[in-house]
A and B are shown apart, each in its own frame.
Chain A
């Protein structure tokens, strides 16, 4: 798999984790 696909997946993973913390747990993210 080309590296750009890896990076895309990791960006999605980061978005997933941010959504989970902010929208489900209801915690403020310090850099937003």
Chain B
């Protein structure tokens, strides 16, 4: 793949704009609250698009195209079973507690609801995970540009990190959020022509259905038996493992995305942020999953004259991660190629900036201010927040270089993340909806859930991974194994939190007011028009999602 002047111009324009946004926002930053929390002043359309864009990092864009090629149309379950339902649940039921408690972060909510040790555990694991995610995103970007454009790895690392550093250091969270919106439009508009031309070249949807094996073109039809679909899981694992545990665990507890809703202007906007974000999310498979399905179709015997193939990895197997870049290289001419490459760069930078700004807030508020230096002036915490931005970027660069030296570090870290994130939703669910849940129950339940995840992984093996205690159970795909691990960790956390809570002392009702469903005054939104309420919009979106599932049954 070779870039020309027009392509470089587009990349340069993008870099100038994202940096300029940082400089424009800089004048608005007067306090730590402005820098770390955007002073809860961001309009709804921006928080909604930033909410979805914070998740639209490289793992999403490249990973979902790769899954589309590997598992076929079943990949839409990540959206139509997973994300959309969880986002609606977050908006309708959970945002009132996150936003209404006036907590500045998710760990701070845990401190209000439970105790300091639960907050500390969540803050430390979250801070570590965001830095690792940011570093791996940076590594993956540099590696991709090195492979497809033969750019220097070190230059890619330092330039990309430098640009993110400038705009997050200047404008903090607001700057990151504004750029996420720009990145969202760039990714969607930049990749849309690829979907159109590649789908047209493959002969349209009817040709895909004709040329691919049926299990790759149906979302539900082959889910009755784990052996008959490419993901190797049945519908129960899909509903519970992905649809409930993993998706709710991510969308309803991960501060990286929830932070975007917490900076909305008021409660109504905060509730509608994830719900409105669910609308573009619902149609995102068209941009990120469909190209993968098209790519694998183009490799079928009847379409080999098109001359497209997914590149092979060092072992001679299909390198699914390269699905999207290889489609861009195949279909985009100079000019649009620059747009496609910039869209990929934007997805990596969006992921990195999102992680760094979330790390900032959690480290400053939940670690530094809570455990080390309390009661200092706001100017002091603003200064610390800015310094933490620099440190976060430097740690990300360090992680990127560590990742370069270890082939499997990404897999290993993703595994650790799943161990930590898998059980987390049980803690929040019980904490928000069962007032008897105690701090000890939450803390030890989380520990037990993480331990259960580790043991389950040690006893199951999939695609050569896991089974390090004893490979007692074989699962067809790594994805299926992730669902099973998440399910066991969630169930363990759920039951152990209940059991421990029943034998330990709960907080009083007065302390829990506004933090638990049964002790929180319900908002009377009767004066609002129906289309401004979270509930009715959520129901409409649920109906549309169900219809989409039926259409691709």
Is B truly associated with A? no
Please list the residues of chain B having a beta carbon within 8 angstroms of any beta carbon in chain A: none
